Chain A
Amino acid sequence: MIENTSLTPEKDSSGLADAIDRILDKGLVINADIAIDVAGVELLGIKIRAALASFETAARYGLEFPFGTNLETAAWKEAMIEKEECPQCGKRVDTEELLNFACPWCGWESARAKKRKAMKVGAKVEVQ
């Protein structure tokens, strides 16, 4: 017997893991210009242009990868597909599929998918 039939995401929505997820997913830019002078003489200048992101986010925003990285693997192609979290089960799914059809994991349907379905049913009835 299945006991847990709830379709709500089981992920805890607060906590460190989620915070890290969020930062890596959104990406973080850290830019800094620092100049240090001693007795009026410019001694040290630091210029930092840093971007911090997950592999997926980095690939989608076209960040440069270290020389020698093979960008032709299946995982990179997968990363380039736009994904969105299913509002019901929390799985990351291809946005197009989620919006136009349904979540392949839990079957959640968006307003657009429902509208499409209704239109299709209407068309079938007309044909009959």
Chain B
Amino acid sequence: MVILRPEETGLKQLLDRILDKGVTIDMNVRIDLGSLDLLGAKARIVLASFETAEKIGLDFPGGTVLNTPAWQDLKMKQPCPICGMESKREDLEKEGCPWCGWNYRQKERYE
């Protein structure tokens, strides 16, 4: 039996996308009156999920322990192309997806 990736629609999918891709706001605002610089504002803002933040090397608040098992998992886990469940890359390559049984090697056998 193959479990199909649950159909994701609407808000949930939108949110997932935004969090996974990350959002950057980079702006410079300058207000001047005549030739006089009145007000200037510079803002660099990023918004991302933990996973993305780790990948692109964002700074975490001071005091965060960056070597808990959860961080290791982020580096090692891969989603299955069929069911979308995450498992260790090593497992995925050796035994196939432990969740749904998908295995890319099966394809090789037929060819």
* A positions within 8 Å CB-CB of B: 13-16, 18-19, 22-23, 26-40, 49-51, 53, 57, 60-64, 80, 82, 84, 87, 99, 110-112, 114-115
Contact = CB atoms under 8 A, between A and B. Distances in A.
Q: A-side binding surface: helix, strand, loop or mixed?
A: mixed
Interface in B32-60: 36-51, 53, 58-60
Interface of B: 3, 6, 8-12, 15-16, 19, 36-51, 53, 58-71, 73, 83, 85-87, 95-102
A14 to B, nearest CB: 4
A33 B60 CA distance: 13
A14 B65 contact: no
A111 B100 contact: yes
Closest 6 CB pairs of A and B: A62-B65, A111-B101, A64-B63, A27-B50, A112-B98, A60-B70
Nearest to B70: A60
A13 B9 CA distance: 8
A60 B37 CA distance: 48
A19 B47 contact: no
Contacts, number: 144
Nearest to B80: A111
B85 A49 contact: no
A119 to B, nearest CB: 12
A34 B49 contact: no
A50 to B, nearest CB: 7
Contacts of B39: 36-38
A87 B84 CA distance: 10
Contacts of A16: 11
A117 to B, nearest CB: 13
B61 A40 contact: no
